[in-house]
Structure 1
Amino acid sequence: MASKTKLHPRNLHLDGYDFERLVVQTPELEAFMIKNPVGQSTVDFQDPMAVRMLNRALLRTHYDIEFWDFPAGYLCPPIPGRVDYIHHLADLLAKDNNLQEAPRGRHIKALDIGTGASLVYPLIGQSAYGWRFTGVDVDANAIKSARQIRDVNKLDIDLRLQNNSENIFRGVIQPDDVFHVTMCNPPFHGSKEQANKGTQRKWASLGKGRSTKLNFGGRDAELWYPGGEIKFIARMVAESMDFAKQCLWFTSLVSKKDNLQPLHRILGKARVAEYKVVEMAQGQKTSRFIAWTYFKKKQRTLFDKRGA
């Protein structure tokens, strides 16, 4: 478990951003550079284009991604937090199999639910650990964008369109698929109205007045789901029972700590073999993900050895 004040020890962004190095690798970033009140170089994180350019520079400098672009309006995720999720998943797999180091290599298979137009988790995970990723999304244009990023960078990532927006795993996990871990950053809000109000509260807290502008972007399917995060993860848990023997660990980010208690009850009814909450610290903010498995402890090492 990470420190309450720092990113994961293996996170390349643990000590902040080396803007001088980033600008050398991505000269376009210089146009977005500003000075903070104490005279340090940074970017305006309230500017969507600045956030996008910073992410592009980070992916090029640290993860060898030369091309990274996608249509306007799609979620542009903050890189350090996404990196932390990957590292903690690696720790989960390592601990489960009594490994001294995080597992690496193409034999480790990961399923990214809601991979998005930016394809960020597969890009990071493949670079950091060499895992084999499958990305899934309900948005055909997001998949099209993800394919362009994959193809231009000549990466081996499987991308699948979820044709039924009511389903999560059904229809995309095939009978011969086996995954070590699944991951997901679920929609946070319960409706479009809630998403807009959340954005307005955010801008008000920044002293910017009323606005529906999103500095990190996000389409409807990325931001809200009927019933919100709990309903989405509940659906995920229900469907996971159908694939209990095909996935070692199912996981999902959980935005609100208060949501853990109802999710605990839901997982109890699913009769999972084990359920964990992994906390991740990012500065003053603490995030978390839940992980559940239907494999008993002695079965998990066998699962890994068969080269799933």
Structure 2
Amino acid sequence: MVTKSKLHPRNQHSEGYDFVRLMAQTPELEAFTVSNPVGQTTIDFQDVNAVRMLNRALLKTHYGIDFWGIPAGYLCPPIPGRVDYIHYLADLLADSNNQEVPRGRHIKVLDIGTGASLVYPLTGQSEYGWHFTGVDIDAGAIKSARQICEFNKLAITLRRQSKRENIFRGVIQPNEAFHLTMCNPPFHGSLEKANKGTQRKWANLGKGRSTKLNFGGRNAELWCPGGEIQFIARMVEQSIEFADQCLWFTSLVSKKDNLQPLSRILKRARVADYKVVEMAQGQKTSRFIAWTYTRKKHHSLFAKRAPA
């Protein structure tokens, strides 16, 4: 297990938010800024509109996204932590590429549950030039993601997953190959548990009871039957069918206690190798697991191909 104490070295947000620069690019952000107790400029992170405007400013300033917005009620992800996943995936690929991070559209990434925000394809394409295929079961999320692509003239492939029980089936085509798959799975096992999680979060923020999360989220984004373990277990089961079409399968894991049962599931699947990579943002620690069925280095996968 690789343990980290701060954001990835290549993460553009490792020094915090430069509000002067952000407001220069997105003047609308200034209306949402406040001063913290030591006089520093920040925003109220319990205000969903402020968080959305901050995301818009970050995506424009750091990733060249001129238009970004999501419908009310959809998950509004914190950019710095999400980008860390991208950077550590780049390191994972470098391990199979003579320690050189591969860049360019010949690197193919499948984003399961891409969401209305399209945060991984937007940041990953900007940072490394990879080609992303974003998949979601929610029609509204796909519509929002498509609008973001159209307004910014981005070549990101989007697909709707029609069957809730499927993850890779019906998405990966017979002649397709991906270097990476990635996923931020729903982590609660029921709507009741999702609501309890909301209450705990707001209590920790000192805000009493609320039915809202400061980062939002619809049911399909927050919970599924069996929760995170069941979702990832289904992902592992279906990954066997596509073992020859994907180099690395990966997924975020929100709860550290879930690693042990997931490790047993991966061993039963007889994967060739699996890793756990821990990431940190301030006091919060997140992690992802990665598994592969390939027993040898695949340098040839990273060779740039001539355009068709």
Q: TM-score, normalised by structure 1?
A: 0.97
* Deviating 4+ runs (over 6 angstroms): none
Considering only aligned residues, what root-mean-square deviation do their CA atoms show, in Å?
1.4
Task: Assess if the C-alpha contact under 8 Å between 1:169 and 1:239 holds in 2.
Answer: yes
Report the CA distance between 1:307 and its aligned residue.
Answer: 5.3
Task: Assess if the C-alpha contact under 8 Å between 1:132 and 1:157 holds in 2.
Answer: yes
Give the structure 2 partner of residue 126 of structure 1.
Answer: 125
SS at match of 2:164: coil
| 1:105 maps onto 2:104 in alignment | yes
Give the structure 1 partner of residue 113 of structure 2.
Answer: 114
Q: Equivalents in 1 of 2:292, 2:301: separation in Å?
A: 12
Give the structure 2 partner of residue 280 of structure 1.
Answer: 279
Report percent identity of matched pairs. 77
Report the CA distance between 1:2 and its aligned residue.
Answer: 7.3
Give the structure 2 partner of residue 251 of structure 1.
Answer: 250
Q: Equivalents in 2 of 1:4, 1:83: separation in Å?
A: 15
Residues 101-148 of structure 1 deviation map (CA, whole Å, 9 limit, x = unaligned): 311001000000000001110000000000000000000111011000
| 1:78 maps onto 2:78 in alignment | yes
One-letter code of the match for 2:146?
Answer: R
Residues 218-254 of structure 1 deviation map (CA, whole Å, 9 limit, x = unaligned): 0100000100000000000000001000000000000
Structure 1 residues 260, 3: CA separation in 2 closer, same or farther (over 3 Å shift)? closer
One-letter code of the match for 1:192?
Answer: L
SS at match of 1:297: coil
| Unaligned residue ranges in structure 1 (runs of 5+) | none
Moved more, 151-160 or 204-213: 204-213
Task: Assess if the C-alpha contact under 8 Å between 1:2 and 1:281 holds in 2.
Answer: no
Alignment length (residue pairs):
306
Q: Equivalents in 2 of 1:214, 1:243: separation in Å?
A: 36
Task: Assess if the C-alpha contact under 8 Å between 2:2 and 2:278 holds in 1.
Answer: yes
Residues 147-195 of structure 1 deviation map (CA, whole Å, 9 limit, x = unaligned): 0000110000000000001100001110011000000000010001100
Structure 1 residues 306, 21: CA separation in 2 closer, same or farther (over 3 Å shift)? closer
Q: Equivalents in 2 of 1:278, 1:97: separation in Å?
A: 18
Give the structure 1 partner of residue 17 of structure 2.
Answer: 17
Task: Assess if the C-alpha contact under 8 Å between 1:113 and 1:183 holds in 2.
Answer: yes
Report the CA distance between 1:302 and its aligned residue.
Answer: 3.5
Task: Assess if the C-alpha contact under 8 Å between 2:69 and 2:117 holds in 1.
Answer: yes
Give the structure 2 partner of residue 238 of structure 1.
Answer: 237
One-letter code of the match for 1:11?
Answer: N
SS at match of 1:49: helix
Task: Assess if the C-alpha contact under 8 Å between 1:108 and 1:307 holds in 2.
Answer: no
